[in-house]
Amino acid sequence: MKFRGAEAIVETIDWQGITAISKVRNKRGYRHLSLEKRLVTERLRSESRIMERLLSQGISVPAIYSVNPVENSIIMEFIDGQTLERALRTDVFNSHLEDLAYLLSKIHSLGVIHGDPTTSNFLVKDQLYAIDFGLASMSDDPEGRASDLRVFLESLDSHHSEINGREIFLDAYSKWKDSKAVLEALNVLELRGRYNLMRG
């Protein structure tokens, strides 16, 4: 498998006899060199630190095998599952949505904002895994958490308009004890005009 993502080349490699994922942030020629360096270094560092943090707390994310700041690469566990995007096209989409709400609330409760929780950034195997923490950050701010929910709901809406997943997902997320402020922030965010038919 080899995939050219929006900021990195992600491929499966053989790493000391096991199949692993290598994620290399290659240079973006359109970006100013110093901006490019700043972003790549920041993102590599934050991605590996955040994944380590989640791993140590027992959250299902790929294990990190190696980080190389010179090559801007991370080598991590290969999760051989199907994307949530595909899994949501099956009959059991409700339980996937509930699992996701639980996983995301656990991630949030540990002070992490995923940053890009679209349906392609979760894998279903024996359990649900969160991947791609390239845009993740550390924050306890309800607005950051709400922004995660909105990114997910938007990807749900643009890729899965046939299912009405919003309610199932938000219901499950609201079971988390600290969810109230997040859902209120989501409400504010969505009322901030552009999500509420204000703009084209």
Partner 1 sequence: MSDIILGVESTAHTAGVGIITSEGKILSNQRSVYIPDEGEGIHPREAANHHVEKFPELFKNAFEEASLSPKEITLVSYARGPGLGPCLRTGATAARAFAYTHKIPILGVNHCVAHLEIGLLEGATDPVLLYLSGANTQVIAYAEGRYRVFGETIDIGIGNGLDKFAREAGMGFPGGPKLEKIAEGDKLIDLPYSVKGMDLAFSGLMTAAKQKLDSGHSLSSVAYSVQETAFAMSCEVAERALAHTGKTELVLGGGVACNSRLREMAMIMTKERGVNCFVPERSLCVDNGVMIGWLGYQMMSANYQLAEEDNMVNQKYRTDMVEVTWR
Active site residues: 116
Does residue number 198 form part of the binding site for partner 1 (CB under 8 A)? yes
The set of residues, in sequence order, having a beta carbon less than 8 Å from that of 76 and lying 6+ positions away, is 20, 21, 23, 51, 62, 63, 64, 65
**Could you tell me how many residues of this chain bind partner 1 (CB under 8 A)?**
34
CB nearer to partner 1: pick between 24 and 135: 135
Residues 18-77 that bind partner 1 (CB under 8 A): 28-32, 34-35, 38-39
CB of residue 18 to partner 1, shortest distance in Å: 27
CB atoms within 10 A of CB 143: 16
Does residue number 86 form part of the binding site for partner 1 (CB under 8 A)? no
- CA gyration radius for the chain? 17
CB of residue 157 to partner 1, shortest distance in Å: 8
Does residue number 6 form part of the binding site for partner 1 (CB under 8 A)? yes
Residues 120-139 that bind partner 1 (CB under 8 A): 120, 135
Scanning the structure block, which residue is given the tokens 């991947």? 131
CB nearer to partner 1: pick between 65 and 190: 190
Q: How distant, in Å, are the alpha carbons of 104, 144, 149, 193 from that of 115? A: 11, 8, 10, 21
Which one among 17, 161, 167, 177 touches partner 1, defined by CB under 8 A? 161
CB nearer to partner 1: pick between 31 and 175: 31
Does residue number 7 form part of the binding site for partner 1 (CB under 8 A)? yes
Residue 79 in tokens? 């999760």
Binding range to partner 1, per CB under 8 A, among 66-74, 122-130, 155-163, 176-184: 155-163
For partner 1, the binding residues (CB under 8 A) are 4-7, 28-32, 34-35, 38-39, 115-118, 120, 135, 147, 151, 154, 157-159, 161-162, 189, 192, 194, 197-200
